[in-house]
Structure 1
Amino acid sequence: MNHIINKEGRGGIGLTMFFCLYIAQSIPSSFFATALQVMMREAHYSLATIGLLQLVKLPWVLKFLWSPVVDRHCLTGRDFRRCIIGSECVYALFIVLAGLLDVNNNLYLIIALVCLSLVASATQDIATDALAILMHGGKDKSMVNSMQSMGSFGGALIGSGLLLLILHAFGWRSVTLCLGAFVLLMLVPLIMRREPEIVAKTTKERAKWSDFASFFAQRGIWRQIGFLLLYYASIIGILSMMRPWLVDLGYTMKEIGVMSGMVGTSAAFCASFGAGFLVRRIGVHASRVLFALFIVLTTLYFLAMSYVSQPSAWLLYFGIVLMWSSYGMATIVVYTSAMECVRKGREGTDFTIQTVLTHLSGILIASLSGGVADHFGYHGLFFTECVIAVVSLLYILVFFRK
């Protein structure tokens, strides 16, 4: 891809800018997903109604539908800057409006506003991903993907952990108003950069609605699609059943929150940062194989631990760190390889299609894992995930030999 790489985009304010934009997406969405569930349960809503909260995530699953619009209208660095700032301001506005309402009397309206805020956040994400691709070429892609993963994991750690404690201390309105201000504050590095330097796209390269179908018609693209669907499917399968397994082992919700929510997410945050440097140094192909081996070893560790009647806390902590570290490293390879499979002028559309595929694969695997664990126990679940991890490794060795 023959794009001009902004020298600042290699580090410093360039990476800081993308980290701020990604963490601005993650913290509010993690907070709302967790806080609304807690508040609805405290208000004695049924579990079926609480389960419908998952629908607020639909904008992030369906964002590929309007990604060509973003690609079509963002032709220069100034266009991207305007789109990101505008989307972020709308995002902050809906967060503030949700915060001004009383939770007990306007819960469904708050959920609607949260859903609209995530539409704006998803739009910002499409533009940010496309800008990251256009500003970073070659080995630099892995570093900007580190910022994306670190923003995601860091946001989950703060949004679903720290902010819940602050919520009980200061209340709904104070926390949400501060979140709105935080989202706007994260625009400062982008505003300081007057115009990101990229190669302006021509009118011949503008995205069309038919690009959805043409993406899948590309020669050799199904090799990448298979990789996206398989690579961390085994990790998602175990992560989805991690909390129920810990409950069955006798751990309390508070202990599980520390083990998985804080220690695990922190491990993923650190692993994503280190993986960015490693991918930059050894390349995407070698990293695919290396991290796939790490995932196989991780699933084998959990399979072995499932035969221990009562694993010690240290064994569990070690396994959780392994699991989340594998997940953090895998995301860097997935995102970097996805950036290498985008077409000129359709960067946002093609990257969004690939990330949505990984989301859908994760939802499917998480749904099936519950059934496998229910019928075959945790031994059967961990064995199944081991098989998937080995198949993923063999897939890479066979289809990515060159």
Structure 2
Amino acid sequence: MRQAISASRDRRSDYLALALMYFAQGLPTGLAFDALPVLIRSGGHDVAMIGWVGLAFLPWALKFLWAGPIDNACRRWGIARVVYVSQGLLMLACLALMPFSPDSHLTAVLIGVVALNLICATQDIATNAYAVSRLQGEGAGPANAMQVAGFILGMLAGGGGLLMVYPHLGWSGLMLAIAVLMPLLYLPLLLRRDWHGEDPLTRADHHVRLRDLRQHRDLWCALGVAISFKFASTAVATLTKAWLIDRGLDVSQAGSLQVSNLLLMAAGGVLLGIPLVRRCGNRRAVLIAGALATLVLGMAWLLESTGVRDLRAYYLGFGVQGIFEGAFYVTIWALFMNWAAPERPGTDYTAMQCCESLTNMVGASVIGGLGQAFGYANAFVGAWLAGALAWLLIAVCLRRMHLQGEHG
């Protein structure tokens, strides 16, 4: 009984650590993908300029190239030390961005935001190693709910939340606020006795190399799922930010709507994603949540084509979309957590995230130009159809994927 209680406490402690780490990574990510497109448009720049935000996806798409060395660094020095170094670099980068602003120094801001995401992407490798090495198996569903909820809440604070206070703080104030918040987030972990203790990774002698991914006989199926599942929703979400401004919303209203959407996405991951994984298993959960998320992906097209301008309809429509998208996200990453090999947790899991980020970068980069060339309605419906095709591809790939603990 005592061992069961201790294990339960340890698992809750792991969930807290994951939530804090993903929240910290979500702050600069929300700044790039949620706040910056609105600030670019409200600053008088063309809709096509929003496509440059896609460069911030580049570190997330390429982090598999240095995932092996970071995995090995976690084994040598411990995950906690790797995380602390990355947090210090994030704080310094935010302070360096204070003198610039998107209105007058857009190029410098874009370069700085890409650098912030480079640091976050590197820390994410260590976070992934922590999650897979400690919570693979039955803990995968709740762990990925903590990942989604923590990351979304971080994006909420760094995106919509910052937009709400932008008129009061300005760009310099926002950068200073993020820089101060970064070290404060890790105070709860400093109080944990086991945070600086021995990691499961430090007991392994295996030296991680990127080419070890080829040991997965179902690698191409896993890549198919990772590449396809987020492309359409990222394209729609990126274009929607400019669409809201052109619909007459100011920066604060757009930020409030994003806050609502992200909160509901986190709620969908926790309240719908976890039960789906537990009751239906990884594969069925992905199919069910993916079908629901794809169905409501056409919400932006529906609002645009019907000419609805009621703010309450925006909250309702995009809120429902967020709930099912959050559930889909949890089921997908629970699947990949149980797919990753225990001897290289950070690298396997990170490689799949890179595939997602690569398609996110493409989706965010091209959708602005498509929206300007063909109009919002055509761009939205095109992304919706792409999402339906992606679900069909996922259904085919799922049948051939092998998860840890399965036989045959």
* TM-score interval (norm. to shorter): 0.7 to 0.9
Within-5 A mapping of 1:13-162 = 13-31=13-31, 55-75=55-75, 79-99=78-98, 101=99, 115-162=114-161
For structure 1, the residue ranges without an aligned partner over 5 or more in a row are none
How far the C-alpha of 1:166 sits from its partner, in A, is: 3.6
* RCO comparison, higher one (Cα < 8 Å, 6+): 2
Q: Distance in 2 between matches of 1:167 and 1:48?
A: 23
Aligned to 1:257: 254
How far the C-alpha of 1:274 sits from its partner, in A, is: 1.7
How far the C-alpha of 1:70 sits from its partner, in A, is: 1.0
Aligned to 1:268: 265
Mean CA deviation greater in 359-368 or 121-130: 359-368
How far the C-alpha of 1:147 sits from its partner, in A, is: 1.9
Aligned to 1:179: 178
How far the C-alpha of 1:267 sits from its partner, in A, is: 1.6
Q: Distance in 2 between matches of 1:240 and 1:10?
A: 35
Q: Distance in 2 between matches of 1:107 and 1:302?
A: 28
Matched residue type, 2:26: S
Aligned to 1:334: 332
Aligned to 2:363: 365
Aligned to 1:207: 208
Matched residue type, 1:290: I
Matched residue type, 2:92: L
State the identity as a percent: 23
TM-score by length of 2: 0.79
Mean CA deviation greater in 33-42 or 128-137: 33-42
Q: Distance in 2 between matches of 1:193 and 1:393?
A: 42
1:350 aligns with 2:348: yes
Secondary structure of the residue that 1:251 maps to in structure 2? Answer: coil
Q: Distance in 2 between matches of 1:81 and 1:74?
A: 8
Q: 1:257 to 1:165 in 2, by over 3 A?
A: closer
Q: Distance in 2 between matches of 1:43 and 1:307?
A: 27
Q: Distance in 2 between matches of 1:64 and 1:56?
A: 16
How far the C-alpha of 1:257 sits from its partner, in A, is: 0.3
Matched residue type, 1:268: M
Q: Distance in 2 between matches of 1:112 and 1:242?
A: 23
Note the alpha carbon deviations across 1:162-212, whole angstroms, 9 max, x for none: 33444443455554334223111111232222335643456652112xx2x
Q: Distance in 2 between matches of 1:323 and 1:270?
A: 12
Q: Does the 8 Å contact 1:342/1:351 carry over to 2?
A: yes
Q: Distance in 2 between matches of 1:362 and 1:172?
A: 26
Mean CA deviation greater in 253-262 or 325-334: 253-262
Q: 1:256 to 1:230 in 2, by over 3 A?
A: farther
Q: 1:28 to 1:259 in 2, by over 3 A?
A: closer
For structure 2, the residue ranges without an aligned partner over 5 or more in a row are 1-5, 401-408
Note the alpha carbon deviations across 1:319-338, whole angstroms, 9 max, x for none: 21122223222221222222
Q: Distance in 2 between matches of 1:374 and 1:107?
A: 20
Q: 1:49 to 1:259 in 2, by over 3 A?
A: closer
Q: Distance in 2 between matches of 1:30 and 1:232?
A: 16
Q: Does the 8 Å contact 1:216/1:222 carry over to 2?
A: no
How far the C-alpha of 1:288 sits from its partner, in A, is: 0.8
Secondary structure of the residue that 1:345 maps to in structure 2? Answer: coil
Q: Does the 8 Å contact 1:292/1:389 carry over to 2?
A: no
TM-score by length of 1: 0.80
Q: Distance in 1 between matches of 2:228 and 2:135?
A: 26
The one of 313, 317, 320 equivalent to 1:319 is 317
Note the alpha carbon deviations across 1:335-389, whole angstroms, 9 max, x for none: 2222122223321122111111111112323445456656765555455444444
Matched residue type, 1:149: V
Matched residue type, 1:134: S
Q: 1:65 to 1:312 in 2, by over 3 A?
A: same
Note the alpha carbon deviations across 1:272-312, whole angstroms, 9 max, x for none: 22234224422211211211221232146666556534475
Secondary structure of the residue that 1:91 maps to in structure 2? Answer: helix
Matched residue type, 2:287: V
Q: Distance in 1 between matches of 2:124 and 2:204?
A: 23
How far the C-alpha of 1:136 sits from its partner, in A, is: 0.5
Q: Does the 8 Å contact 2:69/2:208 carry over to 1?
A: yes
Matched residue type, 1:59: P
